[in-house]
Structure 1
Amino acid sequence: MHAPDPQRHDTYDYAVIRVVPRVEREEFVNVGIILSCAGAKFLEARIELDEARLLAIDPQVDLETVRRHLAAIEVICAGGPGSGPIGQLPQRARFHWLTAKRSSIIQTSPVHMGRCPAVGSAIEHLMAKMVRVARA
């Protein structure tokens, strides 16, 4: 057996999760990241809903519905019992299902690719860069 290579970098795919409260206006708030890495057998969604930002775009948005749909993304990524029929699919199939183009209140960006030595740090980096708003 070979020792782990410290220079090895995994290739991963990711998409930004967006809430689009009024689809016809095409305004959205980035609320999370879905990251898939086949080499590390990794599929995870991290979500941080900034309700104040979302309400600034649409004061009438149904926050409970948004929360419920975002929670479903995390459950599908985790898979296993209670994740429904989509959650039972292989990881890559779940990722592709979650990132499929749709015109609903919850959407994802196009899929992007990256490389990193540790996918856990990659998803955290993407959250900081793409989702969190820098505070003054």
Structure 2
Amino acid sequence: MQRVYDYAVIRVVPRVEREEFINVGVIVSCQGARTLAAAVALDPARLHALDPHADIATLQRHLDAIVRICRGDADGGPIAALPARARFHWLTARRSSVIQVSPVHTGRTADPDGLCARLLARMVLPPGPVRGA
């Protein structure tokens, strides 16, 4: 059975005035499967190519908080206690900060459980080697 889902790509914009960013994660909401999940993969080398002075540890803590909020963890703060759809909307709200998200996109899937990992591989992780080259 196909289920509708929404997702946004998490971006780090180390120097907001330059508008350069790297994709570092995804947030996925599938109401039909009662799923709200996030996955992050911050690559320090890619980030330091944009800003050699970026504070990796602080960014990682904030990115990890997004994952905790999606899971509804108690240590995710008051936002983590909201209903899942409200958390998704709060996390995907437009902001002008070092951590931003893309516009929300919609899709359909028969496998909502593996969706977060597939989107992370497609939208964030470096592509694999080219076959036949």
- TM-score greater than 0.5 by the shorter chain: yes
Q: Pick one of 31, 40, 54 that aligns with 1:38.
A: 31
Q: What's the secondary structure of 2:74's corresponding residue?
A: coil
| Cα displacement (A) at 1:124 | 2.0
Larger-gyration structure (1/2):
1
Q: Does 1:82 align with 2:75?
A: yes
| Cα displacement (A) at 1:135 | 4.3
Distance 1:78 1:96 in 2: 14
Equivalent residue number for residue 16 of structure 1: 9
Letter in 1 for 2:23: N
Instruction: Calculate the TM-score normalised by the size of structure 2.
Output: 0.93
Equivalent residue number for residue 120 of structure 1: 113
Distance 2:34 2:41 in 1: 23
Aligned pairs for 1:1-136 (under 5 A) are 8-136=1-129
Note the residue ranges of structure 2 that are not aligned, 5 or more in a row: none
Distance 2:64 2:121 in 1: 20
Superposition CA RMSD, Å = 1.0
Q: What's the secondary structure of 2:126's corresponding residue?
A: coil
| Cα displacement (A) at 1:65 | 1.2
Indicate the percent of aligned positions where both proteins have the same amino acid. 57
1:51-84 superposed Cα distances (whole Å, 9 cap, x missing partner): 1000000001111110111011011001042221
Question: By percentage of residues, which structure has more helix?
Answer: 2
Runs of 4+ residues over 3 Å off in structure 1: none
| Cα displacement (A) at 1:121 | 2.3
How many pairs align?
A: 129
Distance 2:43 2:16 in 1: 18
| Cα displacement (A) at 1:120 | 2.3
Letter in 2 for 1:12: Y
Distance 2:73 2:54 in 1: 31
